[in-house]
Structure 1
Amino acid sequence: MKNRIDKKLFGILLGYMAAYHVIYISRRVILKFMDESRFVDMDWSVVVFGPVLCNFLIIPPLIISILFVTKMMIRKNLSWYSSLGLHFVFSILYAFLVILLNTIYNYFVYGDPLELFSRAAFVNTLYGSTLNFLAYAGFVSIIYSYYYFQRISKAEIQKTQLAKQLQNVKMQALKSQLNPHFLFNTLNSISSLIEEDGYKAQHMIGNLGDLLREVLLVKDEDMLSVRREIIILNKYIEIMQTRFSDHLSVETNIDKAVEEALIPSMLLQPIMENSFEHGYSYVSTDLRVALSISKMDNWLKIQIQNNGTPIPVKGHNSGFGIRNVQERLETLFVDNFSFSFSNLKNGEGVITEMKIPLMIAQNDAV
């Protein structure tokens, strides 16, 4: 906390003082209407404006003093009984100063007798001490409450920032695991193709260069539009179609309404790769993969289906790519998503289904 005056807090304290005076003046007006002896001969302007003009001259400087003293106590982190004792002493001093300054004001403005140490002055001090004590207690309560909620607010902001930083670190770690894994598998595919068909291998290397360029452009982005993600995915699919030729067909069905919806970057590629890697077998030599992305209420629904080899019932390991996808979804959405990876009911293929919150991208330039 700095030593300067917090203008917002000072404004709140002045507002409290104004509300206090509304009640105080209302009481004086009621007593005037009831012909209470003390107010019978008092002019209405004095009844209404007398205490206001005086107190709005003398109390704001006292408020600033209370503000500085209370901030100092908070900064020094005094124990509650030390703070309570000091505030009790200062409340008495505050009440005395208000009465003293009121008496001096009335002497100069209304010509009232300046009796600072008379019996009447003592009675007047006692009469006003309760209200002044409550006013002081109100000022101090507001100050403590203000800084308490300010600390809580700052703590929540810091907590949110730390959580976001931790999320970013974890996402970067997961993506750094994914990229070498993807690159190794693609290079392995190219290597196996070189002896079989040098032209196709050369074509795959060109496609891989294009793909890596796209991946590098989005390496620091956690979320992309569906449109951008599909552009990147298509470059990977071109590489795989070059490798498997007529034995691979991929169909994509993207709802136009979700083209600008946000999706975790490089989310689809590991699942596609898993379909290619585990879908082929001696039995399944022609692989068909279907990708669909659509809107379902407030969710983005993603479905990838293939007619390849089913998942073994026992001893199945979902593989690095699928685990990476699940961990990234958990990091980004905690438990606000769904993910399933299972065999088709007819036993002729595998289906992966995901649902994530539907969020629309504002700007996502290609």
Structure 2
Amino acid sequence: MKRKNFIILFWVSLAVSMFFFFVFTEEKNLENFLYTLLISFIYSFVLGGGNGMLNSFLNKKIPWSEATTKRAVISIISIIVANFVLVYFCNYVNFVLIQKTATTEEFFLGKYNFLNWFTINIALLISAFLHARSFMEELKKTSRKEVVEQKLIAKSANAQFESLKNQLDPHFLFNSLNVLSSLIDENPRQAQKFTASMSKIYRYVLEQKDKELVTVEDEIEFAKTYCELLKTRFEDSVDFTFDVPKEDYQKYVVPLALQLLLENCIKHNFATSSKPLTIRIFSDGKTLCIENNLQIREQIKESSGIGLANIVQRYSLLTERNVFIEKSEDHFKVKLPMLIAKPQVSTSKAEDDSAAYKRAQKRVKEIKSFYMNLISYCTVCSFLIFINLFTSSKNHWFWFPVLGWGIGVASHAFQVFGVGESWQEKKIREIMNKQKK
């Protein structure tokens, strides 16, 4: 137990001993006060400390967040057994060893059964409160931890996505300037034409690079313009074919994907008039494909690896569908997933978080209502037992409300922790997951 808990138990013991001394003690002297204080300390530290240590032990071995149902069952069994033992120990020390109002035989033969039973109910009430408080504290910690983790994941994903998008601008500019510098030496007139076309294309790059997705139509139109730019340099050495039906135009792909893939085709393959590089862009089901014949050139410089890796990573942040790469002896193909609608990442995430929060809130209310029911049961039943035995020790009518309400509490416990709506939801989720597989 923590030092703070010992201090609380000390002040509780002192307050209880003062109350009993001034209200129930006839001879108010120092000796009686010390006796009352000693007895109060025994009950407070044994019952309170014992339940506190039991709760701490269970928190370490079986945390609420990892196994709620198992923890609830073990908690109920353990607090009943523990409080039964602790109460009998405290009462034995009090009445047999300290006050000496009964012998050991008299204590265990039934003279103090009512007092033991009443004290056990009070101890169970305190223990139920401690376990409920522990559950609420751990639930708050878990909720805070999950919120922090989700925020970190969201920030990390957003930063990663922004980093990937920021690669596109300098990457395109650098490669375009390399092409332009080559054209200046080879064909100055073509270099002028290339410069005019490049300004138009670069405007598109600046407009689209901050978007998560663009329509297939926009990407195809941009790719055609970029192909004209490449034709300016390579002329008959490169052939481009576009075969994308118009019904796929309103689907979505990541921006500048085709430009990066076209750039890769040119970079990694040689192209001549006698052996032209053939690049085909077409749709295949739910994918947009770009395919070229393999005419691998020797790489003078090591590739930066930005193009294809950039596309794969951007798709991974937006959808679960993968980018497929197919390579044969004479062909290389990349398949880009075409998305039917723009995934509203932030909105859907907020909606998921909101729905999860509402479910968690509902769950907390259910568990809280159960613990309030349990605490009320222990309190009221203890009071009824006391009234019944105090007024009529022969007619034990208290069994009827104790058993009746007890069945209700047990049913409530099974509903919350075992076979209620939460169990149904788990089964539904399991069946749906199996069907998906």
TM-score by length of 2: 0.44
For the pair 1:207 / 2:197, whether they are aligned, the reply is yes
Greater fraction strand: 1
Tell me the C-alpha RMSD between the 2 structures: 4.3
Deviation at 1:196, TM superposition (A): 4.9
Q: 1:360 aligns with which of 316, 323, 341?
A: 341
Unaligned residue ranges in structure 1 (runs of 5+): 1-79, 89-122
1:100-119 alignment to 2 at 5 Å? none
Unaligned residue ranges in structure 2 (runs of 5+): 1-51, 57-78, 80-112, 345-437
Tell me: CA distance 1:337–1:327, structure 2 relative to 1, closer, same or farther (3 Å).
closer
Deviation at 1:355, TM superposition (A): 5.1
Q: 1:221 aligns with which of 199, 211, 215?
A: 211
Tell me, in whole angstroms, the C-alpha distance in 2 between the residues paired with 1:269 and 1:337.
19
For the pair 1:239 / 2:224, whether they are aligned, the reply is no
Partner of 1:292: helix, strand, or coil?
A: strand
Tell me, in whole angstroms, the C-alpha distance in 2 between the residues paired with 1:352 and 1:236.
19
Partner of 1:212: helix, strand, or coil?
A: helix
Map of 1:325 onto structure 2: 310
For the pair 1:160 / 2:150, whether they are aligned, the reply is yes
Partner of 2:163: helix, strand, or coil?
A: helix
Partner of 1:155: helix, strand, or coil?
A: helix
Letter in 2 for 1:226: V
Letter in 2 for 1:360: A
Identical-residue share of aligned pairs (%): 23
Tell me, in whole angstroms, the C-alpha distance in 1 between the residues paired with 2:159 and 2:248.
28
Tell me: CA distance 1:266–1:172, structure 2 relative to 1, closer, same or farther (3 Å).
same
Q: 1:278 aligns with which of 268, 279, 285?
A: 268
Q: Relative to structure 2, which stretch is displaced further, 178-187 or 228-237? A: 228-237
Map of 1:288 onto structure 2: 278
Deviation at 1:342, TM superposition (A): 2.0
Partner of 1:162: helix, strand, or coil?
A: helix
Aligned residues, how many?
Answer: 241
1:125-204 alignment to 2 at 5 Å? 134=124, 137-194=127-184, 196-204=186-194
Partner of 2:309: helix, strand, or coil?
A: helix
Q: Relative to structure 2, which stretch is displaced further, 164-173 or 268-277? A: 164-173
Deviation at 1:183, TM superposition (A): 1.4
Map of 2:373 onto structure 1: none
Kept in 2: contact 1:223–1:263 (CA 8 A): yes
CA-to-aligned-CA distance 1:234-263 (integer Å, 9 cap, x gap): 332232123233443322233545444443
Tell me, in whole angstroms, the C-alpha distance in 2 between the residues paired with 1:311 and 1:270.
18
Kept in 2: contact 1:336–1:357 (CA 8 A): no
1:340-355 alignment to 2 at 5 Å? 340-343=325-328, 345=329, 347=330, 350-354=331-335
Map of 1:109 onto structure 2: none
Greater fraction helix: 2
Tell me: CA distance 1:237–1:165, structure 2 relative to 1, closer, same or farther (3 Å).
farther
Letter in 2 for 1:200: Q
Kept in 1: contact 2:253–2:336 (CA 8 A): no
CA-to-aligned-CA distance 1:115-166 (integer Å, 9 cap, x gap): xxxxxxxx99987765565555445544433442343233223223322322
Partner of 2:285: helix, strand, or coil?
A: strand
Tell me: CA distance 1:166–1:239, structure 2 relative to 1, closer, same or farther (3 Å).
same
Map of 1:49 onto structure 2: none
Tell me: CA distance 1:332–1:181, structure 2 relative to 1, closer, same or farther (3 Å).
same
Map of 2:292 onto structure 1: 306
Map of 2:322 onto structure 1: 337
Tell me, in whole angstroms, the C-alpha distance in 2 between the residues paired with 1:257 and 1:153.
46
Tell me, in whole angstroms, the C-alpha distance in 2 between the residues paired with 1:176 and 1:166.
15
Partner of 1:280: helix, strand, or coil?
A: coil
